[in-house]
Chains A and B, each alone.
Chain A
Amino acid sequence: GQQLNQSPQSMFIQEGEDVSMNCTSSSIFNTWLWYKQDPGEGPVLLIALYKAGELTSNGRLTAQFGITRKDSFLNISASIPSDVGIYFCAGQLSGGGADGLTFGKGTHLIIQP
């Protein structure tokens, strides 16, 4: 099946630092998504990207849909303690429907005060 390679696996950073993580695939996706999971909760959608080359921001978060449609990155600027959690990338072939999302294995973000 399709595989998403998400890196880094974990990040230990200082509060206030910028964060960058990325996801690559051997297959093309039509939609890229970034989720955040807080401890004890389900993943929550942060950003959805629909077009190759698209750059989208949501507050301090910025994500891009790679031009080859096989990769995406997520940046977080000026990290704060509530940014701690697991960030997942996900690829989807269609805009919605029965085909399952393919997830990366997640990036654990740990912020040291």
Chain B
Amino acid sequence: DAGITQSPRHKVTETGTPVTLRCHQTENHRYMYWYRQDPGHGLRLIHYSYGVKDTDKGEVSDGYSVSRSKTEDFLLTLESATSSQTSVYFCATNTAGTAGYTFGSGTRLTVV
């Protein structure tokens, strides 16, 4: 969906380095989410945001932090990347009164 852009689309990084993934939306949606997708686990919620500077933890938040300084941008940071964080990361957005989320195209992160 052209309304949500994730960058980068692919990244390879070394263990122990910090990594930041970006999600940019043009939908003016209030709610934004970060998920990771892994074989055998499906989609799992990492963190979410319900407004500028308002964020909360999801199911698998350890090792991740987020920031939302503007409505349109939601950043996911891996403070010190580990191999277990190799995954495909999806950003999603939602607005009040609508069901389901709109997803971005994903970022494939490999930690070596």
Contacts and interface: CB of A to CB of B under 8 A. Distances in A.
Interface string A97-111: 110110111100000
A48 B43 contact: no
Nearest to B45: A100
Contacts of A28: none
A42 B48 contact: no
A41 B102 CA distance: 12
A65 to B, nearest CB: 12
A88 B43 contact: yes
A88 B42 CA distance: 8
A96 interface: yes
B42 A103 contact: yes
B2 interface: no
Interface of A: 1, 31, 33, 35, 40-45, 48, 50, 88, 90, 92, 95-98, 100-101, 103-106
Given A31-B100, A101-B100, 4 more contacts: A42-B103, A92-B99, A97-B50, A103-B43
